Structure 1
Amino acid sequence: MKKVILAIVFVMLISSFALAKINVNTASKEELIQLKGLGDKKAEMIIEARKVKPFTSIEELKNVKGIGDKFLENNKDNICVGVDCN
């Protein structure tokens, strides 16, 4: 019985993390590279870009070289900025 309860708790924890969106204005490099199609280099570019001017919409990510419509489409449910993250 203990194992069943632990398994249920584990699944609930994993699913809650899976539902959490990544705030591109505050995420660490490690968090950013979890996004589909984003490697170390692009994650670093996002971090540098947000230092100059934080993103106000996910569409602004397309101003970062190498990030386009396909990336946004693949990750639209996993990323957020500003009030969208609450």
Structure 2
Amino acid sequence: MKKIRFSALLMLLLSCVSFTDVASAATKGEAAKPAAVQQAPAENVALVNLNTADVAQLQSELKGIGEKKAEAIVQYREANGPFTSVDQLLEVKGIGKATLDKNREKLTIK
């Protein structure tokens, strides 16, 4: 019985503390404002042209692309001609949707 009382008292105390924090933030106007998401301006992103980039550039500029995947991209381009869309990168062995999504803003096919 003492454990139940102690647990109930502890829960009540924690509820009051968290409510106080929420009420304090609401009076300051902070609760209504969502957190700002910082995004890098598109102008500052160095673009990687899939049709001209060499292994070293692909490897250094793209996330999740090591030497083997960079070589696979170049080999695919040499075998199939220039990329016609960024999504065509999914046809390269070892490149999946997650890797493409991580790098999509950096990729171009000019």
Instruction: Using structure 1 for the length normalisation, give the TM-score.
Output: 0.70
- 2:88 maps to which of 60, 71, 74: 60
Residue identity (%)? 43
Task: Render the CA deviation track for 1:19-59: whole Å, top value 9, x for unaligned.
Answer: 22000110111110021000000101110111122111010
Q: Distance in 1 between matches of 2:82 and 2:69?
A: 16
- 1:45 maps to which of 61, 66, 72: 72
**Secondary structure in 1 matching 2:105:** coil
Look up the equivalent residue of 2:109 and give its one-letter code.
V
Larger RCO: 1 or 2 (CA < 8 Å, sep 6+): 1
**Secondary structure in 2 matching 1:56:** coil
Task: Render the CA deviation track for 1:61-86: whole Å, top value 9, x for unaligned.
Answer: 0110110110111001111112xxxx
Look up the equivalent residue of 2:85 and give its one-letter code.
S
**Secondary structure in 2 matching 1:65:** coil
Find the structure with the greater CA-based Rg: 2
Gaps of at least 5 residues in structure 1 are 1-17
Q: Distance in 2 between matches of 1:81 and 1:45?
A: 17
Runs of 4 or more above 2 Å deviation: none
Query: What is the number of equivalent residue pairs in this alignment?
Result: 65
Look up the equivalent residue of 1:72 and give its one-letter code.
L
Q: Distance in 1 between matches of 2:94 and 2:55?
A: 16
Gaps of at least 5 residues in structure 2 are 1-43
Q: How does 1:74-85 map to 2 (within 5 A)?
A: 74-82=102-110
Instruction: Using structure 2 for the length normalisation, give the TM-score.
Output: 0.56
Alpha-carbon RMSD across the aligned residues, in angstroms, is 1.1
